[in-house]
Amino acid sequence: MQFLWIKCEDVLPGVGLGVLTVALFLGAFFFYHEVQDSPEVERNCRMAAEATNNSEEFKMKGHSAFIVGYTGAVGKVLTKELAKAKLFKKVLLIGRREIDLDDDIGNEFEQKVVDFEKFDDYADIFKDVKYGFCCLGTTRAKSGAQGFIRVDHDYVMKSAELAKTGGCKHYNFVSTQAADKNSSFLYTKTKGQVEEELKAIQFERLSLLRPGVLLGEREESRPGEAVAKFFLKPVAYLFPTAITTPMDVVAKAMINNMLAPVDRPVELYENKAIHQLSGVSKGCSGSKSQDGGDKK
Ligand SMILES: NC(=O)c1ccc[n+]([C@@H]2O[C@H](COP(=O)([O-])OP(=O)(O)OC[C@H]3O[C@@H](n4cnc5c(N)ncnc54)[C@H](OP(=O)(O)O)[C@@H]3O)[C@@H](O)[C@H]2O)c1
């Protein structure tokens, strides 16, 4: 068979070998990331296992929280998980627009529409709110490089400063896998810079989560991401904790971590650790702490 000037029988073996090599390389890469354990697997899995018990004591304290970026994909899942868990007496949902909340979101959730360019004017929202969750973010494709920095750096940092002034004790930030202030990529560099600047604010407790590629429902259409997710579905099936993170796993990990007593001021969770903390992912399968056998 011939295609243009190329004889198929001449190139097929070469193409086949190339595809096989790439498949083997990718398989080895994903397998390596899947079997690599987080250095604190026992701590993380124990925190997940103890979350239900911890939640009872936590609820009685009647704390308040805020979620900035609650209209986004992760923010919405976090809102749902917090609504199910009923941990707070009040949750302030901070965003640039109001959305229809699901019927099962209780009255303790209150939407606060703000102008992020005048964020200082809304300092009162943060008064006496001890727990903060930041799921803000945009993409360079959507907002341009400057717009991306404005949201992913400036708005995030301003929310953290206002939170600290208002009395926030525990700030939770959704960063990204490979965040690095020295990265040559704007996305990972910005996230890395924000992580460093958040540390400098010196919250009593700061939790930085670095999920992999997020999987879950997204209202907004992102064709590039949709294509990537199509190819990542089998990867997520075979290697669930390697490079992908379902959004509910991120939300549950944030909550379980928050419920655990603080043992250090700054916590940095890579993707594997997020899976372990969530208590719903395969991250803890095989860990002794799953059955309580390794509790300290
Ligand atoms: N996508 C991934 O695979 C991936 C992987 C790792 C980490 N992350 C990070 O995880 C975080 C959450 O991701 P996500 O997918 O949930 O994000 P998302 O769906 O894009 O939501 C982002 C949130 O930020 C708000 N926002 C965006 N631009 C804004 C602006 N100009 N002014 C005010 N608010 C603005 C959005 O408000 P509106 O709803 O009003 O637009 C929304 O509430 C982000 O920081 C992202 O970088 C993503």
> Which residue has better confidence, 62 or 21?
62
For the chain, the distance separating the N- and C-terminal CA atoms, rounded to the nearest angstrom, is 68
Q: Which two tokens stand for residue 6?
A: 């190329």
Q: Percent of the chain beyond pLDDT 90?
A: 74
> Would you say the CB of residue 54 lies under 6 angstroms from ligand 1?
no
**Ligand 1 midpoint to CA 147 (Å):** 12
Between CA 157 and CA 139 the distance in angstroms is 17
Of 211, 89, 94, 250, which is closest to residue 159 (Cα–Cα)? 94
pLDDT grade for 287, boundaries at 50, 70 and 90: low
User: C-alpha distances in angstroms, 115 versus 94, 112, 231, 238, 266?
Assistant: 10, 10, 38, 43, 30
Of 238 and 4, the structure prediction assigns the larger pLDDT to 238
Q: List pLDDT tens digits, range 131-177.
A: 999 999 999 999 999 999 999 999 999 999 999 999 999 999 999 99
Q: Is the CB of 137 under 6 A from ligand 1?
A: yes
DSSP strand E in the chain: where? 2-3, 6-7, 64-68, 90-95, 109-113, 131-134, 170-174, 205-209, 213-215, 244-246, 266-269
CA distance 293 to 124: 46
Render pLDDT for 242-251 as a digit per residue (tens, 0 to 9).
999 999 999 9
Q: What percent of the chain has pLDDT over 70?
A: 95
Which of 246, 243, 249, 228 shows the shortest CA–CA distance to 177? 243
Ligand 1 center to 73 CA (angstroms) = 7
Nearest by Cα to 112 from 73, 55, 162, 49? 162
Of all protein residues, the one whose alpha carbon is nearest to atom 12 of ligand 1 is 135
How many residues appear in the chain? 296
Residue to substitute in 138, 174, 248 for testing ligand 1 pocket (most ligand atoms within 8 angstroms of CB):
138
What average pLDDT score do residues 29-53 get?
88
What was the pLDDT predicted at 3?
65
pLDDT of residue 293 exceeding 50, the answer is no
- How many CA atoms within 13 Å lie on the side-chain side of 2? 3
Give the whole-angstrom CA distance, residue 91 versus residue 63. 9
Gap from CA of 137 to ligand 1 centroid (Å): 3
pLDDT band at 286 (very low <50, low <70, confident <90, very high): low
User: What local confidence, expressed as pLDDT, does residue 289 receive?
Assistant: 41
Spatial distance between the Cα atoms of 235 and 239, rounded to a whole number of angstroms = 6
Residues with a known catalytic role: 187, 191
Class of domain 41-291: alpha beta
Q: What is the pLDDT of residues 169-218, one digit of tens each?
A: 999 999 999 999 999 999 999 999 999 999 999 999 999 999 999 999 88
Position 37 pLDDT exceeds 80: no
280 lines ligand 1 (CB under 6 A): no
Which stretch of 82-91, 239-248, 283-292 has the lowest confidence by average pLDDT? 283-292
Does residue 187's CB lie within 6 angstroms of at least one atom of ligand 1?
Answer: no
Region 49-72: mean pLDDT is 96
Domains of the chain, by residue range, sit at: 1-35, 41-291
Q: What is the C-alpha to C-alpha distance for residues 43 and 90, in angstroms, rounded to an integer?
A: 29
Angle ∠(139,151,267) on CA atoms, nearest 5: 95
Q: Is the CB of 134 under 6 A from ligand 1?
A: no
Decide if 215 contacts 229 (C-beta within 8 A).
Answer: yes
What pLDDT score does 24 carry?
84
Enter the tokens of residue 21.
Answer: 């090599």
Q: How far apart are CA 64 and CA 53, in angstroms?
A: 20
Strands 6-7 and 90-95: unpaired
> Which residue puts its alpha carbon closest to atom 46 of ligand 1?
137
